Structures are given as structure tokens and as C-alpha cells.
Chain A
Amino acid sequence: DAGVIQSPRHEVTEMGQEVTLRCKPISGHNSLFWYRQTMMRGLELLIYFNNNVPIDDSGMPEDRFSAKMPNASFSTLKIQPSEPRDSAVYFCASSHGSENTGELFFGEGSRLTVL
């Protein structure tokens, strides 16, 4: 079975540009999570969805960040405009069930570098 699929794997962009990261969760999973990983702060939960509905976005850093899940098989995380401090690895994860059991399946991450 295919795991969680993220794209792009690597992105290098200039400050001020729009960045869109994409995620396809595992089929049948109805919870989706976006995490950001940095050396300084480790893994931070940005937002999570259940049945395509955002449940908690309190981890989204600021208005420059937005996330959508238009259907059960696709989600995007957008940063506009991007800043150098957004450089990080962004992970998408999915899980089965309406409640978060903590058993997440992670994608391989999107490494973002903002110059």
C-alpha cells in the first residue's frame, strides 16, 4: 500500500514567494496532520483535519500560513509570503479513525529553504 505522499520533496525559493506543499494521505484515513520540524523547536503541530474539517489550527504560526483539505485524498499547506525563518521540514501525517489515537503515519517530508 502507498504511504502518505508529499510533494515537493525539496523546495528552494526566495523570500516573498508563495510556497505550496501538498499531501496525499493514506486511503481510508480520515485524520490529517501538518507538522513542522526545525532544529530549534523540534516537531510542532501546525494544524490537523478530521473528515476534511480543520479541528485545531492553533499551531499555525501566523496569517501567512494557510491549509486546506478540499477532499479526503488531498491537502495543501500554503505560505504566502514566505520568509527565511519558514525554512524547515514540513511533514504530513494521517491516521485512521475519528479520534486521534496517536498512531500517525508520516510522509517523507518536504524540505523548504527560503533564501
Chain B
Amino acid sequence: AQSVSQHNHHVILSEAASLELGCNYSYGGTVNLFWYVQYPGQHLQLLLKYFSGDPLVKGIKGFEAEFIKSKFSFNLRKPSVQWSDTAEYFCAVLEGGFQKLVFGTGTRLLVSP
């Protein structure tokens, strides 16, 4: 079964710093990839998704992610973070032919003003 690794468990940045959160999934084949975000006290919500086509996908609030098939990676980026980006970020993979959306363990991002 698929598994998802998020290597950074906690990240602390100052406002305006650039962000890159790593995400790797365990093996190839057809996959759909997602980033979800959970703001403090709120429910998880979809940030962006990759199904096919352009491997660089753009989501809400200036976030983007790049799918690199050869590296089994789907890293999340933002050129300049804001205090309001403080949240927990989850990478997830939906394996083709299966119905399970498997999440990584999450990365807690703290942006200091």
C-alpha cells in the first residue's frame, strides 16, 4: 500500500521567508496528489491537487506544488509566507484503482511576525 512521508515535522519561519515542505510517496504508478491545510482550530481543507498534466500546480493563497515523478515527490512551496499561513500541512496520495486517500503525518508551520 502507498505511504506518504513528510520529513519536516515542525518548521519555523519569519514572515516573507520562502517555504518548501517536502513530501514523498512510496511507489509509482498512477497517483493523484494533494496538499491539505488545517488552520488552528479549523477543519482540514484542500490547498491544491495534482491529477495530470502540468506538474507544477497552483493552489489557493499563493501556494504551489511540483510533481516530480522520478523522485516520487510533491513538494509544497510558497515564495513569501505570511503570519496567517501558520497551520499544519498534510500531503496525501490517492492511488489509482484504490479508494483510499493516504495522508502523511503532517508538518506544523509557525510563521513569526
Assign chain A's interface to a size class: 20 to 34
B44 pairs with A100, CB closer than 8 A: no
Q: Is B109 an interface residue (CB 8 A)?
A: no
Chain B residues, CB < 8 A from A99: 99
Question: Interface of B with A (CB < 8 Å)?
Answer: 32, 34, 42-46, 49, 90, 92, 94, 99-106
Interface residues of A (CB under 8 A from B): 3-4, 33, 35, 41-45, 48, 50, 55-56, 91, 93, 99-104, 106-109
From B32, B45, B102, contact of A101 by CB (8 A): B32
How far is B38's CA from A91's CA once the two chains are assembled, in angstroms? 12
Query: Which among A56, A91, A103, A107 has the highest number of chain B CB atoms within 10 Å?
Result: A103
B33 to chain A, nearest CB (A): 8
CB distance from A59 to the nearest CB of B (A): 8
Q: Report the Cα distance A108→B39, complex, angstroms.
A: 11
Known: A42-B106, A100-B94. A56 touches B43 (CB 8 A): no
